[in-house]
Amino acid sequence: MRFSNDLIEWYHPNKRDLPWRDTRNPYHIWISEIILQQTRVNQGLGYYLRFIETFPTIEQLANAPLDAVLKVWQGLGYYTRARNIHQTAKFVVTELGGVMPNSYAELIKLRGIGDYTAAAIAAFAFDEPVAAIDGNVYRIYSRVFGIYAPIDKGDGKKMLRKIAHDELDKNQPATFNQAIMDLGGQVCLPKNPLCESCPVSSMCYAFRNREVDNLPAKAGKTKVRDRYFYYLLIRLGEFTYIRQRNAKDIWHSLFEFPLIERSTPLSIEEVFLTEEWLDICGSGKVEITYVSDEVKHLLSHQRLFTRFFVIEMSSSSYLLQKNFMKVPVNGMAHLSTPRLIERFLAAEPAVKYFTKGVDF
Ligand code: SF4
């Protein structure tokens, strides 16, 4: 619900004022959705107003000659859309008594109405709790939930559709669907999204992990993903700091040290200048006692390049206390950690610099 609450709270003062949003008329909503399929809102707006002015009702559209419909459509391109609209209007008038079906299941049977359009009409006109899922929605959920499965493949789509269904606010499907469309159209843009002004940035995986440029993934484009990990093994007396991984990502629920992650490599000096390093190390006395060589670790579709930094501190920073668990260094031996960390802790440098003086 948090996603929905933050999204809808943002939407109300920021929503685009569009004529098809002021109506529950399924015919008008249908026309707007078909026009907007291949057309930007600014360009589509004039066409929508002209179309509705020329054919205010579905009967008037059904009774008009095809040429008249194509004339109004002229310049929009993809004329099959206009032909399908005209044929479907005739079908609704002759076979359904001029009444548009009022459910997703029936709407999708109509010619020219696909999954997205059927869901949009059902939600906007009839408040049916269905998610209208287009490229914007796939992109947003892939970024927010850190889904790397390609969005142009069956598995990725299936996963994201399930998320879209779960996240949909079933009490206000029309508002929710419009809000997520606006987020995709105004903020979570394919390139250079406006994360700083995004209402869901605090829960967005891609934003928090600087992965915005790598998500959504497309098949064949990111077959093997390179990730650069910089682990901070902190010694504060007999203690260290850890956290449990809980994102939908590798190593779910395993324990790890504070991590700085990038999708491109950093030099050692650049690591010291990262925001995370400065937050974690704070302003107390810090001594870096060891920096490992880069360790390469292979997973099925990922290559991890990792460095371990052993750091001695005299006091812990506020962010360290707030975001990590303080545990005895020797307690690490009893926790589930990724193999990468387990191997490092067993290696000589860790014994010499990190676990020195404790019975590990
Ligand atoms: Fe999209 Fe950025 Fe918002 Fe994440 S924080 S949903 S990437 S705009």
What string of DSSP letters covers 41-64?
HHHHHHHHHHHHHH--SHHHHHHS
User: Residue 351 is encoded by which pair of tokens?
Assistant: 């014994």
Residues 331, 242: contact at Cβ < 8 Å?
A: no
Residue nearest to atom 2 of ligand 1 (CA): 195
Indicate the DSSP class of residue 99.
-
The separation between the first and the last C-alpha atoms of the chain, rounded to the nearest angstrom, is: 43
Query: Is the shortest distance between the CB of 206 and ligand 1 below 6 Å?
Result: yes
Give the Cα separation of 174 and 177 in Å (integer): 5
Higher per-residue pLDDT: 252 or 313: 313
Query: Is the predicted pLDDT of residue 243 greater than 60, yes or no?
Result: yes
Catalytic residue among 9, 33, 269, 342: 33
- Listed in sequence order, the residues at least 6 apart from 159 whose beta carbon sits closer than 8 Å to its beta carbon are 147, 149
Q: What is the whole-number distance in angstroms between the Cα of residue 209 and the centre of ligand 1?
A: 11
Q: What is the whole-number distance in angstroms between the Cα of residue 140 and the centre of ligand 1?
A: 7
Higher per-residue pLDDT: 133 or 245: 133
Query: Is the predicted pLDDT of residue 357 greater than 60, yes or no?
Result: yes
Query: Is the predicted pLDDT of residue 335 greater than 70, yes or no?
Result: yes
Give the Cα separation of 129 and 312 in Å (integer): 54
Q: Taking phi first (over 0 means left), then psi (-120 to 50 degrees means alpha), and beta for anything else, what does residue 146 get? A: left
Residue nearest to atom 5 of ligand 1 (CA): 201
Cis before residue 13, ω within 30 degrees of 0?
Answer: no
Q: Among 20-24, 40-44, 67-71, 255-259, which range has the highest average pLDDT?
A: 255-259
Query: Is the shortest distance between the CB of 183 and ligand 1 below 6 Å?
Result: no
Q: Please tell me the predicted confidence (pLDDT) of residue 52.
A: 97
What global pTM score does this model have?
Answer: 0.63
Query: Is the predicted pLDDT of residue 237 greater than 90, yes or no?
Result: yes
Rounded mean pLDDT of 32-39? 90
Is 9 tagged catalytic? Answer: no
Residues 143, 210: contact at Cβ < 8 Å?
A: no
Query: Is the shortest distance between the CB of 7 and ligand 1 below 6 Å?
Result: no
